[in-house]
Structure 1
């Protein structure tokens, strides 16, 4: 079974994956595009997500070996950094070692990405809107009757596309704020 889902919160993704495990579907692969592949299973599994920055080949092998010694299976391998997906048959030891620190690193990186992508969209928005308004049809507001409505309805989809960068600024701003709050909470503990 394949499912598509996108997550910006590592905790929500882990909860969602564990709900799929409770339904009897074990995760076998996760693509970078958000496509999760599941396989029906009778065993009870648990899944944990860990966040690691870039690890050299030797350190990555050591990192994997430590977890595999405790029965964890690495579902997705990203040696260059990012989320690491670990799964194992459910028993009395279901937590991984670096949960808090790895989540802190994840939220820190998410803040940086959100900030710079938001700034890029803000710059792009400024360059679009600096010389004109949203509607570009000359004399649109002085038109009358059906001609006005036809011109307005024709141009509105283009206005929505032109306003997309500003909506992305709002999205990345809220993403930055949520990541900052979660990072602050983790630092306080």
Structure 2
């Protein structure tokens, strides 16, 4: 079974993955485009996410070996995200060590991505709207009656498409704000 899902909050992602495990579906792969691959299982598993900055091949091999020594299995996932996915059969010791510094680094990285993409979308929106606005139909606002409504309804889907970059800038702004709140909470403790 494959499911498409996008997450900006790692804790919600871990919760969702564990809900899938409770339904009897074990995760086997996670692609960079948000496609999760599951297989049916009769065993009870638990999944944990760990947050690591870039690791060299040697450091990753050592890191992976430590977790595997404690019974965790590594799930293939996007390499550059910094999120590492671990799964094992449910027993008394289901927590992995993930320090506050690695979590705060993750949220700091997410803030950087969100601000970069948000500013790009904002700049692109400005380039679209600076001369023309959303509706490009010539003389639209001077039309009357049925002619106005036909032109307006025809142009509206295109106007909505032109507003997409501004909407994306807002979404990235919200993502930045949420990551900043979590980052500052981790720094306070």
Please give the alpha-carbon distance, in whole angstroms, between the structure 1 residues aligned to 2:60 and 2:76.
13
Task: Report the alpha carbon displacement of residue 102 of structure 1 after superposing the two structures with TM.
Answer: 2.6
- Give the conservation status (yes or no) of the 8 Å contact 1:28–1:39: yes
Corresponding residue number in structure 2 for 1:96: 96
- Give the conservation status (yes or no) of the 8 Å contact 1:7–1:13: yes
Task: Report the alpha carbon displacement of residue 81 of structure 1 after superposing the two structures with TM.
Answer: 5.1
Corresponding residue number in structure 2 for 1:36: 36
- Unpaired runs of 5+ residues, structure 2, are none
Corresponding residue number in structure 2 for 1:65: 65
CA offsets per residue over residues 8-66 of structure 1, 9 Å max, x none?
A: 11000000000111111111111111111111212111100112111111111011011
Write out aligned runs for 1:3-42 (5 A): 3-42=3-42
- Unpaired runs of 5+ residues, structure 1, are none
- Give the conservation status (yes or no) of the 8 Å contact 1:114–1:175: yes
Corresponding residue number in structure 2 for 1:183: 183
Corresponding residue number in structure 1 for 2:123: 123
- Give the conservation status (yes or no) of the 8 Å contact 2:21–2:44: yes
Task: Report the alpha carbon displacement of residue 80 of structure 1 after superposing the two structures with TM.
Answer: 4.4
Point out 4+ residue stretches in structure 1 off by more than 3 angstroms.
77-81
SS at match of 1:36: strand
CA offsets per residue over residues 71-109 of structure 1, 9 Å max, x none?
A: 110012555452110001111111111253332221111
Q: TM-score, normalised by structure 1?
A: 0.95
Q: TM-score, normalised by structure 2?
A: 0.95
Corresponding residue number in structure 2 for 1:154: 154
Alpha-carbon RMSD across the aligned residues, in angstroms, is 1.3
Please give the alpha-carbon distance, in whole angstroms, between the structure 1 residues aligned to 2:31 and 2:80.
15
Please give the alpha-carbon distance, in whole angstroms, between the structure 2 residues aligned to 1:33 and 1:118.
19
Find out whether 1:48 has 2:48 as its counterpart: yes
